[in-house]
Structure 1
Amino acid sequence: MANVIDPVSRHADATPDNIALRGAESTLTYGQLRDASTRYAGALTEAGLSPGDRILLAAPSVPEFVVAYLGIQAAGCVVVPVNTMSTRPETEYVLADAGAALAIVWHELGPAIGDAASGLGIPVWALAPDAAASDAEPVPVAARDHDDTAAILYTSGTTGRPKGAELTVANLLSGGEIGAECSRGSSDDRTGTGLPLFHVFGQASVMMATFTGGGSLSLLARFDPAAMLALLRRDRLTIMAGVPTMWNAMLHAADGADSQDFTQLRIAISGGASLPGEVAREFESRFGCTILEGYGLTETTAFGTFNDIDRGGKIGYTGRAVPRLEVQVRDHDNVACPPGTVGEVFVKGATVMKGYWNRPSDTAAVLDPDGWLRTGDLGEIDADGDLRIVDRVKDLIIRGGYNVYPSEVEEVLYTHPDILEAAVVGVPDDHYGEEVAAVVATVPGSGLDGGELTSWARERLSAYKIPRIVAIVDSLPKGSTGKILKRSIDRTALKNDALTAEVPER
């Protein structure tokens, strides 16, 4: 029997006065965090919530999110974290699909989430800064089976309605243990992040890993590059985690930063999307800080592969399989590919989800009887055993019979001095089937136009990979973690409105 709060309870027994959480205006020790969480569990129990009940949680990355999250776990309930920017229809869908019994909503959020719950007759609790000071009686931590569902995280999926990935008690505990092992986390570490905790990256590989190691977690409720650097300095962070757009933003906005700010930082973790090599190289050159990239999915509790600390980062690769997991790349016949051959990535092990909530056919489509998860990602494993993610299977562009991997084109675009962000997508084309299109955000004051960019790319890419459709925008659409959302790019508008460059075939 076990519970997701167990790591916090262990450190509360051993080192109750060690700092567990730091917010903008508050801190909680391990003893205080356990007390606050078990009191929150007591409030849930007093309100009639029972083990197994699903509870929606909508809050930014503040200490109160952690108190409520662990309180839900301590009560034996199932947490259903959602994006704080969710619309009413999106929330209604999740509430109904999960069969939620309660919605807990951060007091400063707009009305959409609360109205969605109220409209469905579901009680709504406001989560306020005094959540840690509940006067409810603490309750004993619920003993749960390792295979019990602890969290349901809805995937954003490029097609169809979102599916709820069921993460078990064992998935989350294993994620924390793997994360702590990979980062060599200890009670001496001070981890900081601007990632949303309602996302699997922040929740599993940052929050759970920090509490497993016994260190402190500093939270930034809303990511801002200057604020992240201030957090780094204030709390003298030893571990920092983010997605590529965060590292890129820090690189371009951190005018007052220098390598001295990073001297105590021993590990910088990147995930959520492929890290452009140019960003990694510039970051290390400017700040003397190596970013270690990892790979995982919601369905694998954020884990899959990670670059080893001792070997350092291998630019363009996400490292080897982490402990307790196996990773394979397979061809169309489901046979393991030889090194250097692109195929679909499969993952098996301790953090692979239980399945999709109430969707047995969708579960069967991605999880085979032996426990291997089909990720939908294209990758290759080199002779060292390191994985390189090439692209999503669905993002692959087939132009005139040639495979074009958007990430490869983006990697080249990021080397242009005027480009801040880039996304490459395929748009329908009557002649080639698909045409390569690039949407880029440039540095302020840049005069770069589509024709110039296409000409520049001609010198660096094979003819079939050159973006012949180019759109210059102020910024690219991003999700809650800062990950660029290609599915939000209007392909039809690109085809009709963007500059189309005439580039000879060769």
Structure 2
Amino acid sequence: MGWNFGDILETIEPVLPPDAPAFIHGERTIPWREASRISNNLARALIARGAAAGDKIAVYMRNRPEYMLAVAAGFKARLTHVNVNYRYTPDEVWYIFDNSDAQTVVYASEFRDAVEQIRDRLPKVKTWVEVSESGQTAAFAESFDNLANEGDGSPLNIERSGDDLFFIYTGGTTGMPKGVMWPHHDLREITLSAARKMGTVPETLEELREHTRKIGPGGKVLIAPPLMHGTGLLTAMGSHLAGGCVITLTGETFDPVETLDAIDRHKPQSLTIVGDSFARPLLNALNANPGKWDVSSVAMVVSSGVMWSLEVKRGLLEHMPQAMLSDAFSSSEALGMGNSIMTKMGEVKTAKFMIGERCRVFDENDQPVEPGSGVRGLVALGPPNPIGYYKDEEKTARTFRTIDGVRYSIPGDWCIVEADGTLTLLGRGNACINTAGEKVFPEEVEEALKTHPSIEDALVVGVPDEKWGQAVTAVVQLAPGQPLDEAALKAHVRKTLAGYKTPKRIFVADRSLRASNGKADYGAAKAVAEAGAGEAVSA
């Protein structure tokens, strides 16, 4: 039947030390005994209220143990997880619930008003479950705590399938979010294939049970980004399915001080971040408070989804020389395209990745790109891959294509294949700027800008221009106390990049250029750039 996440949890839970922590969130610690009981009871309660195998369970909350408990309950009840961006407007949330055909929604009470605005337009949602701090829930909803305590906590012992689905809704760069459909078995196989290279791994549930009984609980991982996005959720799932402990932060936004306090207190072996947008504030806090925090427990820092610059990596390793920095080149529809490992003993250039064994690079005519040729190519990832995008055959056909009999996921990432076989990532094609016939990938200009000491963050967009077609335009956040010196910044970029890649104008943003998951908010940056360009013309 293949690997199923619900089966995995039911296999490891009885042999884990019952008092070992499964979740830590601020002052709360939930041991595995309680985590197992809660997710079993919740799964059984949802089935009793009409949820059937294959139905969708949408989770709408910030990071907290109830998020992962709802995910675990969904696995056990054979329900398909749907992530919901809590930064969305009510109408955008409605789109996710409606598009996914959600049957069950588990949400936090802070979003009750948004739910009340849209629930009358969601006839397919049969069960609303509210996680409430006060214990009071909406009249139309059931209490998470009540359902968690409804029953004896025993395993469901139902037959599941490796073909059960897991959805990750991804916003991409254009259009409305789409649900990437992953079968449990295939998603598990990606994890196992990496582990097999390092030694023997359990290949059956029986072997997994004995392995867990022998080695005990897994390690602790601190998840800094939101669980509602792939980087946070997939690393949290990996820890939970290995019998580990998932540590989450209580703040509504990323706080480097809270993160470092949690590392000092809970001693996680692994830290999950999202590139420079998380790593740079951590580095700034460490630099400003030398010796304040003990970060020696961190053996691995994992990042995915956003550029993580060499300079910031180098700085972090000064504070945690024992750590291995793992920079993953992945997306929700293409997991495992490449990886970059940096330690105190060896540096790796920004955006340079070791190509994964499932990865190929093709030119625009679907021909393989020769290493060292200098030809730009599209990164393609072979199986296992998602089934496609939920209810979007057109986008599925564009992204998942068969070349020479192999079905590849091709999300649109451009790169150069170096002579040694490594990839230098250029960026997404749909973000590429066409200026006077030259193609400019925003990421390389952004990284050049961020190496200047006055720049905290930078995004680069194309602004319509009569002369250039599109003018390369930068929107930056300045480091505290630093002025904007356009001429100096342009000269700095020209030191490493061709002249046509230098921003024609540079504007300062008055707020963060990142979403809560650390990813670039190009829409906001473009609005700042176009407004600034318009003011310059009118003046």
TM over 0.5: yes
Rounded Cα–Cα distance in structure 1 between residues aligned with 2:236 and 2:191? 8
C-alpha change, 1:334 and 1:284, in structure 2 (3 Å) is: same
1:197-276 correspondence to structure 2 within 5 Å: 197-204=227-234, 206-222=235-251, 223-244=254-275, 245-254=277-286, 255-258=288-291, 261-276=294-309
Aligned equivalents of 1:481, 1:279: Cα separation in 2 = 18
1:291 to 321, 325, 333: 325
Alpha-carbon separation, structure 2, partners of 1:218 and 1:475: 28
Aligned equivalent of 1:504: none
For 2:22 and 2:194, locate their aligned partners in 1 and report how far apart those are by CA, in whole Å.
Answer: 17
Aligned length: 494
Secondary structure of the corresponding residue to residue 101 of structure 1: strand
Deviation track 1:369-404 (CA, whole Å, cap 9, x = no partner) reads: 432011211113334433322111112222222222
> Given that residues 309 and 351 in structure 2 are in contact (C-alpha distance below 8 angstroms), is that contact kept between their aligned partners in structure 1?
no
Matched ranges for 1:359-378 at <5 A: 359-369=392-402, 370-378=406-414
- Partner Cα separation in structure 2 for residue 142 and residue 83 of structure 1: 31
Distance 1:44 1:19 in 2: 25
Pairwise CA distance, 1:471: 0.3
In the TM superposition, residue 469 of structure 1 has moved relative to its aligned partner by: 1.0
Kindly indicate whether the alpha-carbon contact (under 8 Å) linking 1:11 and 1:30 is maintained by their aligned counterparts in 2. Answer: no
Please tell me the residue identity of whatever aligns with 1:172.
L
Following superposition, the deviation at residue 116 of structure 1 comes to 1.9
Query: Is the contact made by 1:193 and 1:220 (CA closer than 8 Å) also made in structure 2?
Result: yes
Equivalent position to 1:392, from 428, 446, 450: 428
Aligned 8 A contact 2:42 2:148 in 1: no
Following superposition, the deviation at residue 134 of structure 1 comes to 2.1
Paired with 1:440 and 1:170, the residues of 2 have a C-alpha distance of: 43
Gaps (5+ residues) in structure 1? 501-506
When structure 1 is superposed on structure 2, of 411-420 and 284-293 the one drifting more is: 284-293
Partner of 1:23: 25
What CA deviation, in whole Å up to 9, does each residue of 1:139-163 have, x standing for no partner? 51543322232x2222213222222
* Equivalent pair of 1:61/1:194 in contact (CA under 8 Å): no
Alignment of 1:416 onto 2:452: yes
Q: How big is the shift at 1:408?
A: 1.6
Q: Deviations over 1:398-418 (max 9, x none)?
A: 222222222221122111111
Read off the aligned partner of 2:223 and give its amino acid letter: T
For residues 93-242 of structure 1, what are the structure 2 equivalents within 5 Å?
Answer: 93-109=95-111, 111-121=113-123, 122=125, 123-128=127-132, 131=145, 133-138=148-153, 140-149=156-165, 151-177=166-192, 187=217, 189-204=219-234, 206-222=235-251, 223-242=254-273
Matches of 1:275 and 1:424, distance apart in 2: 16
Asked if the contact 1:326/1:349 (under 8 Å) is kept, the reply is: yes
Of residues 464, 468, 485, the one that matches 2:500 is 464
Partner of 1:503: none
Task: State TM-score, norm by structure 1.
Answer: 0.90
Aligned partners of 2:167, 2:24: CA distance in 1, in Å?
26
One-letter amino acid of the structure 2 residue matched with residue 163 of structure 1: K
1:48 aligned counterpart, secondary structure: coil
Where does the alignment leave 5 or more consecutive residues of structure 2 unmatched? 134-143, 202-214
Asked if 1:346 is matched to 2:380, the reply is yes
The answer to whether 1:327 aligns with 2:365 is: no
Are the equivalent residues in 2 in contact too, given 1:337–1:343 (CA < 8 A)?
yes
The yes-or-no answer on 1:3 pairing with 2:19 is: no
AA of the residue aligned to 1:336: P
Q: Where does residue 474 of structure 1 map in the other structure?
A: 510
Larger displacement relative to structure 2 (38-47 or 450-459): 450-459
Change (3 A) 1:7 1:145: closer
Match of 2:348 in 1: 314
CA 1:116/1:147 → structure 2, altered by over 3 Å: closer, same or farther? same
| Equivalent in the alignment of 1:497 | 535
Structure 1 residues 175 and 90: CA distance shift in structure 2, 3 A: farther
- Are 2:391 and 1:358 aligned? yes
